[in-house]
Structure 1
Amino acid sequence: MRDVARLAGVSAQTVSRVSNGSPGVVEATREQVIAAMRELGYRPNSAARALKRGSFRTIGVILFTLATTGNVRTLEAIAARAAEEDYAVTLIPVAAPTQAGVQGAFSRLNELAVDAVIVIMEVHLLDYSTVSLPAGTHAVVVDSEASEGYSVIDTDQADGTRKAVEHLLDLGHSTVWHVAGPSVSFASERRVGAWRATLAARGCAEPPLLRGDWSADSGYEAGLSLASSGCTAVFVANDQMALGVLRAFHEKGIRVPQDVSIVGFDDIPDSSSFSPPLTTVHQDFTELGRRCVDKVLKQMTENSTQPGCELVPTRLVVRSSTAEVPK
């Protein structure tokens, strides 16, 4: 820093202010200092800067898997929003969905020096019914089943499901079958509950529930079972499983939407290229990720936990996989 100051003809304090992006430095002087930094190959010591200001400008993200569309797209949005605020993201995958695994991840994050944590997880996959966060940790949990003591951001799973089921019923279908995700998934169970509630509110019979594991292969197996059920409308808990259902129906000679209407959930980028293009519930993962970062930064600024649940709205995207009930 002294070398930069000497070359730029300024004080070391001015170099420090430029390095930290502090206001109050004349623009011409700032450019002069930056030019000297480039010439000498000077880069500020991030560890020293962090110790001085008490902030590492890093957000930790804990998650169980990168195998799902939602997690990947949410993480992408978190990283993009953090970068806009000049924060880095440190990713800590948890191999085993247990309380010990999560606590181990927090220990690692503490060692890596982060200012706050965003936890993308299914709370009830843990050994205990609530998340146990270290005292004083600024954190946001992406799961609406977290206890009231935590700040939660999540997609409005129930409202998205209601829109999907009501769309099919409004087309004249007498009931709607459902291919759900795994029972250990919060999102899956919230969608199952909303499916049942919507059918009950409309006085419709509830068909047997089928389950998959979010994969297209599991949707294909469910589709083979549905092919002999006589159903005319199916709500599938995600687009990947809906793709499998479409394949099974095609192999069995069942036309979509002429014979059976299908609605998915997620609105993945490829869903408009399915055959036929898939009607689905759009999840705004970009907004979800942005809100997570904004919420945790606000916690840091106000030094508070800000408990409560904030839901990101969904919208139904109608394409060619749904039609009025066959006559």
Structure 2
Amino acid sequence: MRRTEALAALRVLGMHGSAACFLGLPDQKLSAMLMCGGQSALERFAAIIADWGPTDLLVPSISDTHPDHSALAVMLRLVLSESFSDPVATGQTAVWSYVVHGRSLAFFDHAETICQSDIEAATKLRAIRCHKTQLKLSRKRFLGYAGRPERLVKLGARDKTIADGSITSVFRLPHSLRVELRLSPKAMRMSEPTLFVLGRDEAGALRCMTVRIPARSSGIEMLDSSSLDCIAEAQYCGNAFAGGLTIPVSIFSSASAIFVKLERRSWFFDEAGWVKITPPKSQPIAKPQRDEAEAGPVTIR
């Protein structure tokens, strides 16, 4: 039914159904797929992009708070950096990211706004109304998307990384990752905060580590997200609301990007998406411009 609705919406927007390709990936399980390997999905994405040869590619933002959207965004970032870096760097293919859910400063402070006419807004509204099953869950929110302008961020080969959500800053050093956290007490969460660290190892395999954030300073086991084996120990200095992590990252390739995400899920949506960290330059990652009123950073020993 969801596919039928999507095809009806595409027809409203002037696209023929034969141009659509449905991947059939599992709903609400893309994060688990990403963190437990997902190499077959990455290869599939690479084959589709290579076959299509797009001049412009619109992809979800890693800052989206929908866990499926942000996981797909990380998968596509990996594919583009590993298989299409030259077309992106030369401008042969322009890559644009968009956010559907959330108000990430890391995204909106750098987004370009595309103004729309009344006719375009009305067309968007008719297309959204085709998604009847979605409207049953969140009618007001979905219909509201028609009135807002589209906002896009153009991605580059080496974008400056910006901290987001409860991750306030990051240092990537040759053998460790140093992450500062500031955890909002405003809402009760369903589980304790968990940091995911994902990247390629020296052999090129996709690896993900899980680190549960304690309520006080201590050493913490770092578990392989797939096997749940303990592979290293991280150090946390802080409390339940703010602190700093020192994480060994020797299992990851020093030439590849690392992605981190602090999961503090309230019902379905994440508090924030993923943060991409480029290979080490031993310099702090920039913060969103308006995040200046909070307490000072926590020292990592």
Q: What TM-score, normalized to structure 1?
A: 0.25
Largest Rg, 1 or 2: 1
Structure that is richer in strand per residue: 2
